[in-house]
Each structure stands twice: as structure tokens, then as C-alpha cells.
Amino acid sequence: MMLGYLLARAGVQVTVLEKHRDFFRDFRGDTVHPSTLQVFSELGLLEDLLKLPHQRITSASGVFGGFEFTMADFSHLPVRCRFVALMPQWDFLNFLAGRARQLPGFRIEMEHEATDLLWNGARVAGVTVQTPSGTQTIEADLVIGCDGRHSTIRRCSGFEVIDTGVPIDVLWFRISRESTDPEQLLGRVNYGKALILINRGDYFQAGMIIRKNSFEQIKQAGLPAFRDSLVRIAPLLSDRVDELRDWDQIKLLSVQINHLRCWHRAGLLCIGDAAHAMSPAGGVGINVAIQDAIAAARILIPALLGNHPIDGVLARVQRRRQFPVRVIQQMQRQAHLALARVFDHPGPLAAPWQLKLFVRIPGVQRFMGRLIGIGLRPEHVRNLPGV
Ligand SMILES: Cc1cc2nc3c(=O)[nH]c(=O)nc-3n(C[C@H](O)[C@H](O)[C@H](O)COP(=O)(O)OP(=O)(O)OC[C@H]3O[C@@H](n4cnc5c(N)ncnc54)[C@H](O)[C@@H]3O)c2cc1C
């Protein structure tokens, strides 16, 4: 959506295909980071974006066993918004789609699922699309595969996926929130489990991190046992765990980390999770995908507008974005390994000395705030055509 908006704003004809009827999905995270808010400021869209209901978090904290600590502080970042905005992703996407629809070159087709690639010899020349009124083909000078971690486009393109394996999955559910509950992002680790509570106003979006493929086992132990485990790790939920009455309220989100060896071929480029599926660790995947979109726009617009050969510039997008993505994925892997060790200790946990030492290093919270909030090699839209 972001790349479609930027291309159309520069005068490129774009069609965005979305397989669902709307954006009302609850599985993609809700964090709009300072780097993304900065880009919206550069685009002149920030004030209107921030009129949408959202919560602001200026720090991310944790409780490991009984040890409370702050992991990241966003309040000193050298950007306009020194906070992470927590905003339902459907609101964010609807906002961007609404702005994009005002641009003459932009078209969005909902309930249009790309099912295959069209080929002109060895070059990708468009897509086959399943629509409510049947199968269609759409030809294009360039196809961008940005269809997420289960990408059809990358599967059809024959790209090599390098998968490093992940030891965790996430159980994703809502539970009500009182006005007296903590406002900042809260991670809790204890009794062999880890729980993230994301403030969404009158409810928490909760993520229980579990050992990969262990959901069936958890279900067999029963919902009362699951509720008990929640209360043990987060006693503040004791008066509302009964809201969880059915396993249908709890969704299993399968976590992956992988990347394509090569993100492009003639006529095709993959970005976002389609090029490199991100884990929820650090809540950065949306913002990394947006950074990919900005880098791609900067590199593609001159070729697309100038009718220069497009295929020759595609490798530059991967070269620009590969390093920041790999570093963040490596950090996510380390976080997973640390979490996987927790699963082996079902009793009360004490924080490891390494964590206690790490959070006491002067300036570490600001450093982590910068890494999570802005990331490496941040992209800007200031010099993009049409901006
Ligand atoms: C449990 C979990 C929690 C997460 N929490 C966070 C978080 O809090 N913050 C954060 O920054 N990141 C989070 N992430 C990571 C984040 O969700 C992704 O990194 C990010 O959404 C990637 O964006 P994307 O645009 O590449 O793909 P997506 O957001 O997955 O978007 C792909 C889009 O393409 C559509 N689509 C798919 N296939 C087709 C098709 N064939 N034809 C047409 N349309 C199609 C989909 O419907 C979707 O709208 C989380 C990930 C997981 C697994």
C-alpha cells in the first residue's frame, strides 16, 4: 500500500491487489514506529493520521520473574514523534488507501487474489487474478510481490527461500484493560512462559509466546489450565481471564523468519515479508516493510517514469535493504533463543545476570529505543519525485 501510494504520487500508474474484502484482520501487529511517523510527517499526512484513535508508547518495559526493567526508551529520538503509535492496522491501511485513491494513477482492487504469474519468455509480465467475477489477467511492466509471509508471488516465481527455523509460535487474543493498568508496552516472562500485553485502550492485545507446535498440547490441557497460566504470569489479569471462554477467541500465529536469496528477477521484485518474513520480536516488521517500500520507490520511480529499463535497477533495492533486514532478523533470532530457554523452566524464574547487567549499561535504553524506533539506515521520502 505504501509503495503503491508513493508510486502513484509520483505519477506512476499502479494497481494494488488485495485478496480480502477489507483490512479487518487482527494478526499483523499495530505498531507505527517513529521512523514511519517521520515519513508521514515528510509526506504532510501526519496530523491527519494522528487524528485516528491510537495510544502512544514512549517506552517498552518488561518483568522477568520479579525483576522489572525498561528495555527501550523512545522519548529522546531525534524525530518529530518520540513514541510508537499503537493503531489498529486496518485503520492505518484504510487511511493510506483513502489518500492513495485520491491520486489519479492509483487503483486498488479488493477481493482480487493473485494466483499465478504471467510470463513473457523468462520475464514476468503480469499476474493471474481470482476475482468474485472469475479469473482475470493483469499485465504490468513490473510486478511487486508484497503479499506477506505466505506469499503466492514468491512461490510462483521459483525464488530460493532460506529458512532458519524458529522455536516459537504466538497465541494472539484480546482481554479487557482497566484504566489503572500500565499504559506502556509490557512484556512478562515467568513460569516457563512469555506474555506481551499491548495497550489498545479498553483492551489489551495479548500475545502468549509458546514453544513451536505446542498449541495442541496446550489445548488438550484445557482452557482453565491456560487461564491459570495467564494469571500466574500476569496477576493483574486475574479478575478478567474468565473472558476467555472458547479456544476460538485464541488464534495461533505461526512465526517464521526467512529471506529470499534473491529478491528480484526480470519483471518482478519482492519486498516486505514476501522477501524476508519477520518475527513479531521487537514489533518491527511493519516498519521494515514500509522502509522497503520507500527504498523501492526511490529506486524505481526514475526508471518507471523515464521509461528506462526497469530490470537493471531491481538489484539496487535488495542491496539497499538487505543489510538492515539481516541485522534485525539476527537480533530476532537471538531473542527467540533466549525465549526458548525459558520454556524449559516451568517454575518461578529469576532474571539472568546478563539481563540485569545489560539494562544497567548507561544509555542502553536510548540505544534500544533508537534501534527499535528508527532502525538501521532509515529511509526518507524528502527527495522523492511528487513529494
Ligand atoms: C504474531 C505476529 C505479530 C506481529 N506483530 C507485529 C507488530 O506488533 N509490529 C510489527 O511491526 N510487526 C509485527 N509482526 C510482523 C508483521 O506482521 C510483518 O512483518 C508485516 O505485516 C509485513 O508487512 P507486509 O506488507 O510485507 O505483509 P502483510 O502485512 O502480511 O501484508 C500482505 C497483504 O497481502 C495480502 N495478500 C496475501 N496474498 C495475496 C494474494 N495472493 N493476492 C492479493 N493479496 C494478497 C494480504 O491479505 C495482506 O493484506 C508480527 C508478525 C506476527 C507473525
How far apart are the CA of 133 and the centre of ligand 1, in A? Answer: 26
Residues 6+ apart with CB under 8 A from 111: 18, 19, 20, 21, 131, 132
The arithmetic mean of pLDDT across residues 289-313, rounded, is 94
> Residue 182 has what pLDDT?
79
Q: Which atom of ligand 1 is nearest to the CA of 278?
A: 19
Cα gap 75→369, rounded to integer Å: 8
Residues 6+ apart with CB under 8 A from 38: 79, 80, 81, 374, 378, 380
342 φ, ψ (degrees, to nearest 5): -65, -35
Q: Which of 24, 147, 157 to mutate to test the pocket of ligand 1 (most atoms within 8 A of CB)?
A: 147
Query: Does residue 85 surpass a pLDDT of 90?
Result: yes
- State pLDDT tens for residues 152-183: 999 999 999 999 889 999 999 999 999 888 77
Query: Does residue 25 surpass a pLDDT of 80?
Result: no
Q: Whose CA is nearest to atom 31 of ligand 1?
A: 148
26-37 burial by CB neighbour count: b if 16+ within 10 A, else e? eebbbbbbbbbb
Beta strands in 146-200 (DSSP E): 161-163, 168-176, 185-190, 193-199
Q: Which of 28, 90, 196, 269 to mutate to test the pocket of ligand 1 (most atoms within 8 A of CB)?
A: 28
> Residue 184 has what pLDDT?
67
Q: How many CB atoms lie within 10 A of CB 223?
A: 17
- State pLDDT tens for residues 106-120: 999 999 999 999 999
How far apart are the CA of 52 and the centre of ligand 1, in A? Answer: 21
Q: Is the CB of 284 under 6 A from ligand 1?
A: yes
Beta strands in 121-256 (DSSP E): 123-131, 134-139, 143-145, 161-163, 168-176, 185-190, 193-199, 203-211, 251-254
Which residue has better confidence, 179 or 386? 179
Strand partners, 131: 134
pLDDT band at 344 (very low <50, low <70, confident <90, very high): confident
> pLDDT averaged over the chain?
93
Query: Does residue 308 surpass a pLDDT of 90?
Result: no
pLDDT band at 219 (very low <50, low <70, confident <90, very high): very high
Query: Does residue 74 surpass a pLDDT of 70?
Result: yes
> Residue 199 has what pLDDT?
83
The arithmetic mean of pLDDT across residues 246-250, rounded, is 96
* pTM assigned to the model: 0.93
Query: Does residue 29 surpass a pLDDT of 80?
Result: no
> Residue 2 has what pLDDT?
97
SS3 label, residue 127: strand
Q: At 90, which amino acid appears?
A: W
How far apart are the CA of 233 and the centre of ligand 1, in A? Answer: 28
> Residue 26 has what pLDDT?
63
Residues 32/123, Cβ–Cβ less than 8 Å: no
pLDDT band at 273 (very low <50, low <70, confident <90, very high): very high
The arithmetic mean of pLDDT across residues 292-300, rounded, is 97
Query: Does residue 304 surpass a pLDDT of 90?
Result: yes
Secondary structure string (H, E, C) spanning 31-93: EECHHHHHHHHHCCCHHHHCCCCCEEECEEEEEECCEEEEEEECCCCCCCCCCEEECCHHHHH
Cα gap 89→32, rounded to integer Å: 9
Query: Does residue 43 surpass a pLDDT of 90?
Result: yes
pLDDT band at 98 (very low <50, low <70, confident <90, very high): very high
Query: Does residue 185 surpass a pLDDT of 90?
Result: no
> Residue 187 has what pLDDT?
87
SS3 label, residue 369: helix
